[in-house]
Amino acid sequence: MTKAIVWFRQDLRLSDNSALFNACRDCDEVIPVFIDDSVDENISQSVSALGSASRAWLHNSLISLSTSLKKEDSTLIFKQGKALDVLEDLLRQTNATHVYWNRCYEPEIRKRDEKIKATLKSSATVKSFKGNLLLEPWEGLKQDGTPYRVFTPYWKALTKEYVLTKPLPVPAEIKKPQSWPSTLSLDELKLLPQAPIPRWDKEMMDFWDVGENAAHKKFQDFLEDGVVNYKERRDFPAIGGTSLLSPQLHFGEISPLQLFNTARDFETQNAQPSGYEHSSPLVENGIGHILRQVVWREFAHSLLYHFPHTVTDPLYEKYAAFKWESNVDHLKRWQQGMTGYPIIDAGMRQLYATGYMHNRVRMITSSFLCKNLLIHWHEGEAWFRDTLVDADLANNTLGWQWVAGCGADAAPYYRIFNPLLQSEKFDKQGEYIRRWVPELGELSNKDIHLPSADQAQKCGYPETIVDLKATRERALDRYKQLKQTF
């Protein structure tokens, strides 16, 4: 009799789950397992070793997955410890003959998984599968076999060459074992913050609608209600014109392949111009632009795979000599949303309150930290990783190096987002600012973008911590000095 352990990680769903589907097809019994490996000091990049916001999301996502498995007459086993030790112990307990998982691509995880596969293959059949990307990182390469460092050629190549396949269905039967191994309770994993933190109360997580079914409903609702105007609306943080699917994609509650197929079906049903190339729904309309964001995520994972040093170091070594400033007060004011620049403070407060920040505002706030405050992008990346529910090592690393000007497809060093101009353009009526910086709510639409010192004092709002013009010139001078050494 064959028995498979299916190790769930960034694939918290039953549909389009290659490891689960193949285990159910190949074996007589299937044991679904989640391992909290955050206790492993050598693994800081695992899904269970992220910041407090992501761990709170993970807790709720595991509730959803566990509920779905129970409906299939199965059980999700919870374990904690070093993954290799846990899997070896499970093999002994259950006499399992197979271990299946879907691949992850973070550098530490890849090394760990290679060791696990090499160690376990003497006692079990060990198989890994593509689970949460359209393309494996080694598939989306240039014709000369090297990885892309610029997004647009990567996007165009995928548009031309990618052939869309159908997602896998939920297995017809998840064959339960004759006896279950011991399990911890989900609460024993202690994924939720141990001290009361208001932003992670039940009401907030209910707002997010965590889980596989919620992810599919969210995307379908977005296609029906918002995708037509996505290109025009996505940059305006007060509108809510984005899909808000990034955490669901990170935790694998929905797969990119499912997104692409759902988008194709929606276009077909609504008789919109397809523009498909090689059966791929990459079109220059609202759907095309939302799928472009999905491919940006693919690009980030490709870069992380081929250039693992970018987790800590610039993609381009020449930028390692850039001179950053160390200012604890400025960093804290930025983190707390108390910089005196309303659009910056609105974004940082939204982040802390909800675990999310609108993408346009992410660019504005990160540019301010790196360019105006000259604080190392490491500090921003670490704060985002702790506070974002969609904290993703690949996306986070690419995004911060893009803003800092030292990574792939990076904004030129002289591109510095002006928070005042950005605010006036993308939050003209001050709606976003009024939502997250309520003390400025009575100011006019003109003044709310940058209150005078007197206005700020009357509102109980801080004065600006730096001068935009002076700090912009300081950053440009420093980048120019660095370029002279190239």
Residue keyed to tokens 């800590």: 312
Domain with CATH 1.25.40.80 in the chain: 133-166+212-306
342-354 helix and 359-367 helix, angle to the nearest 10 degrees: 120
Residue recorded with tokens 């801080």: 462
**CATH level 3 topology of 133-166+212-306:** 1.25.40
Write down the residue that tokens 């299939």 correspond to.
Answer: 72
The CATH 3.40.50.620 portion of the chain extends over 3-131
Residues 265 and 271: their CA atoms lie apart, in Å, by 10
Integer angstrom CA distances of residue 462 from 120, 133, 334: 58, 44, 12
Lowest model confidence (mean pLDDT) among 238-242, 395-399, 432-436: 238-242
Q: What is the percentage of the chain residues whose pLDDT exceeds 90?
A: 73
> For residue 52, what are the CA distances in angstroms to 191, 200, 382, 389?
8, 9, 12, 8
Domain with CATH 1.10.579.10 in the chain: 317-483
Report the alpha-carbon distance of residue 399 to residue 404 in Å, rounded: 9
The residue ranking higher by pLDDT, 282 or 30, is 30
CATH T-level assignment (fold) for domain 3-131: Rossmann fold (3.40.50)
Looking at the chain, the whole-number percentage of residues with pLDDT higher than 70 is 93
pLDDT, residue 207, reads: 61
What SS3 state is found at 246? helix
140 contact partners, CB below 8 Å, separation of at least 6 = 147, 148, 154, 157, 158, 298, 302
Taking the C-alpha atoms of residue 112 and residue 29, their distance in angstroms, rounded to an integer, is 26
Averaged pLDDT for residues 46-52:
85
* Tens digit of each residue's pLDDT (9 = 90 or more) over 375-387: 999 999 999 999 9
pLDDT of residue 205: 57
> What would the two tokens of residue 64 be?
């959803």
> What kind of fold does domain 317-483 have according to CATH?
DNA Cyclobutane Dipyrimidine Photolyase, subunit A; domain 3 (1.10.579)
Q: Are 21 and 32 in contact (CB under 8 A)?
A: no
Helix or strand holding residue 34 (H, E): strand 29-36
pLDDT, one tens digit per residue, over 297-348 is: 999 999 999 999 999 999 988 889 999 999 999 999 999 999 999 999 999 9
